[in-house]
């Protein structure tokens, strides 16, 4: 069956596929060239637009219409790529996000995402398919398409790896020999030198540089073409299936509800004790008051990151409970109540952390990292509010959380945060809002 799918993927190869093989070789070389040529920042925006255009053109050539979900990630991809020239302190994170979104969007174009082509709670598996499984299992696709041949009846694949290697070896030998012979021929005849101009000297001078780049560009080209070819043809995309994941999820739901409820009761009890003992200290930030014996910096920093970590751990606890707790138990409604209780307590801690940060900003002003922290807490707030609503109403919380997070992070990447912080601090200082 696997062999039949593989043959079908290559039996439909046409001349246009070979043209796109050439474009992907160009994309691979361009990717390496950007990081080795020391050029200006405009190269990455241009490369992003060119990459997106090639993907969409290839899909159109194969008669595949991009699914609606992919257009959202297409916009995110373009914004992240074009905004690379903006220096707002997030260049590294923005570039890494660009790489992840590019792979995810390419895979989404073909509608191969597990939940009927949509972003969902299976995003980790979709990400694994887009970044690892599909491109690496299709690394041979470019060379097979490029040298693909059919017999007279058009049914059998006559691709020969030995012939491919022989052709590639011949090209390499010819390139080396021409780099030696062209300068000699140019020196022997003035007419030939005029014909070739500076081409021979340029080839000789840049041969090593080009060869080194090609050593890295070829694997990149194979990877990129493997991703798009696998996604559009379905080759090696069915190792992970949604039905299999749902079945596995049902099988691992073995934790009895009383055990889960007991865990939640103990955790919530500890949080209530903590809030009761530290109530005046914790909530003084909401009132805009600084506790005695604390500076603004000490009060804001002490506990803020710990509260953030506690919030993330609580989210993990809720997710683990949702994954592993049995749905067959009659006491499942009690677990929903404990989910609400833990979510409310977490929202209380998040509110306290946000209050600490606002108090810190009122004393020392706004910075890009403080905006990033507040945005992260806002995103967590949206998730926990959604988790509470989800106990009574079924809706795609994971999808909404992921899309919201993508929008918020993209805004952080695009907005000139350094300038915004500078303008706000000047305004706050002028109006007496900074202590």
Residues 228 and 311 both lie in one domain: no
Residues 227 and 312 both lie in one domain: no
Is the pLDDT confidence value at 157 over 50?
Answer: no
From 224, 244, 264, the end of a domain falls on: 244
pLDDT of the residue at 426: 87
Q: Mean pLDDT highest for which of 193-202, 208-217, 289-298, 384-393?
A: 384-393
Residue 154 lies in a domain: no
Query: What is the rounded average pLDDT of the residues 66-74?
Result: 92
Q: Is the pTM of this model over 0.85?
A: no
Is the pLDDT confidence value at 387 over 60?
Answer: yes
Residues 237 and 290 both lie in one domain: no
Residue 319 lies in a domain: yes
Q: Encode pLDDT of 345-360 as tens digits.
A: 999 888 888 887 887 7
Q: Encode pLDDT of 309-351 as tens digits.
A: 889 999 999 999 988 888 776 667 788 889 999 999 999 888 8
Residue 267 lies in a domain: yes
Residues 258 and 207 both lie in one domain: no
Residue 420 lies in a domain: yes
Residue 317 lies in a domain: yes
pLDDT of the residue at 189: 62
Residues 226 and 305 both lie in one domain: no
Residue 155 lies in a domain: no
The percent of residues in the chain predicted with pLDDT above 70, rounded, is: 73
Residue 435 lies in a domain: no
Is the pLDDT confidence value at 102 over 90?
Answer: yes
Residue 141 lies in a domain: yes
Residues 104 and 240 both lie in one domain: yes
Is the pLDDT confidence value at 266 over 90?
Answer: yes
Residues 288 and 172 both lie in one domain: no
From 197, 226, 244, the end of a domain falls on: 244
What pLDDT band is residue 7 in, cutting at 50, 70 and 90? very low
What pLDDT band is residue 117 in, cutting at 50, 70 and 90? confident
Is the pLDDT confidence value at 80 over 80?
Answer: yes
Question: What tokens appear for 35 in the block?
Answer: 């990081």
Q: Nearest-5° angle of CA 99, CA 147, CA 168? A: 85
Task: Return the C-alpha torsion angle 338, 341, 344, 346, nearest 10.
Answer: -70
Based on the structure, what is the number of domains in the chain? 2
Query: What is the rounded average pLDDT of the residues 97-125?
Result: 91
Is the pLDDT confidence value at 90 over 80?
Answer: no
pLDDT of the residue at 238: 86
Residues 145 and 263 both lie in one domain: no
pLDDT of the residue at 196: 61
DSSP labels for 143-208? HHHHT--B-TTS-SB---HHHHHHHHHHHHHHHHHHHHHHHHHHHH-HHHHHHHTTHHHHHHHHHH
Residues 188 and 292 both lie in one domain: no
Is the pLDDT confidence value at 114 over 80?
Answer: yes
* Rg from Cα positions in the chain: 29
Q: Mean pLDDT highest for which of 9-13, 37-41, 267-271?
A: 267-271
Residues 259 and 399 both lie in one domain: yes
pLDDT of the residue at 186: 66
Residues 179 and 32 both lie in one domain: yes
Residues 225 and 357 both lie in one domain: no
How does the average pLDDT of the chain come out, rounded? Answer: 80
> What are 232-235's contacts with CB under 8 Å, separation 24+?
232/58, 232/59, 232/62, 232/64, 232/109, 232/110, 233/9, 233/12, 233/62, 234/5, 234/9, 234/110, 234/112, 235/5, 235/6, 235/9, 235/137, 235/138, 235/141
pLDDT of the residue at 349: 87
What pLDDT band is residue 400 in, cutting at 50, 70 and 90? very high
Domain residues for the domain of 78 are: 2-149+160-244
Is the pLDDT confidence value at 162 over 80?
Answer: no
Q: Which of 93, 120, 82 is nearest to 104 (CA)?
A: 120
Is the pLDDT confidence value at 53 over 90?
Answer: yes
From 244, 269, 298, the end of a domain falls on: 244
């Amino acid at each position: 069956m696997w062999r039949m799918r593989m043959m079908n993927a290559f039996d439909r190869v046409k001349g246009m596929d070979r043209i796109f093989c050439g474009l992907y070789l160009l994309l691979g070389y361009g990717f390496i060239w950007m990081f080795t040529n020391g050029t200006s920042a405009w190269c990455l925006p241009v490369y992003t637009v060119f990459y997106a255009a090639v993907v969409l053109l290839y899909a159109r050539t194969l008669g595949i219409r991009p699914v609606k979900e992919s257009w959202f990630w297409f916009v995110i991809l373009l914004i992240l790529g074009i905004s690379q020239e903006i220096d707002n302190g997030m260049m590294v994170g923005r570039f890494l996000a660009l790489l992840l979104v590019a792979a995810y969007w390419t895979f989404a174009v073909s509608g191969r995402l597990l939940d009927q082509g949509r972003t969902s709670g299976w995003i980790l598996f979709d990400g694994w398919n887009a970044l690892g499984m599909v491109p690496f299992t299709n690394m041979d696709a470019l060379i097979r398409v490029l040298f693909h041949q059919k017999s007279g009846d058009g049914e059998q694949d006559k691709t020969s790896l030995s012939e491919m290697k022989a052709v590639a070896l011949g090209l390499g030998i010819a390139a080396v020999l021409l780099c030696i012979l062209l300068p000699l021929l140019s020196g022997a005849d003035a007419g030939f030198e005029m014909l070739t101009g500076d081409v021979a000297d340029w080839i000789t001078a840049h041969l090593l540089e080009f060869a080194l780049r090609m050593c890295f560009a070829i694997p990149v080209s194979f990877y990129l073409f493997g991703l798009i070819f696998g996604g559009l043809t379905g080759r090696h995309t069915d190792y992970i299936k949604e039905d299999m994941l749902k079945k596995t999820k049902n099988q691992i739901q073995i934790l009895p509800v009383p055990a889960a409820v007991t865990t939640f009761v103990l955790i919530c009890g500890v949080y209530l004790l903590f809030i009761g003992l530290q109530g005046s200290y914790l909530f003084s930030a909401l009132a805009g008051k600084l506790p005695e014996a604390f500076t603004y910096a000490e009060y804001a920093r002490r506990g803020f990151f710990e509260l953030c970590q506690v919030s993330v751990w609580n989210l993990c606890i809720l997710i683990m409970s949702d994954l592993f707790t049995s749905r067959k138990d009659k006491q499942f409604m009690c677990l929903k109540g404990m989910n609400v209780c833990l979510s409310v307590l977490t929202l209380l801690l998040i509110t306290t952390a946000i209050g600490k940060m606002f108090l810190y900003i009122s004393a020392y002003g706004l910075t890009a990292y403080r905006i990033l922290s507040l945005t992260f807490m806002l995103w967590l707030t949206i998730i926990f509010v959604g988790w509470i609503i989800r106990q009574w109403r079924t809706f795609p919380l994971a999808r909404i959380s992921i899309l919201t997070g993508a929008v918020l992070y993209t805004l952080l990447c695009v907005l000139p945060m350094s300038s915004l912080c500078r303008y706000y601090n000047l305004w706050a200082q002028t109006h007496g809002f900074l202590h």
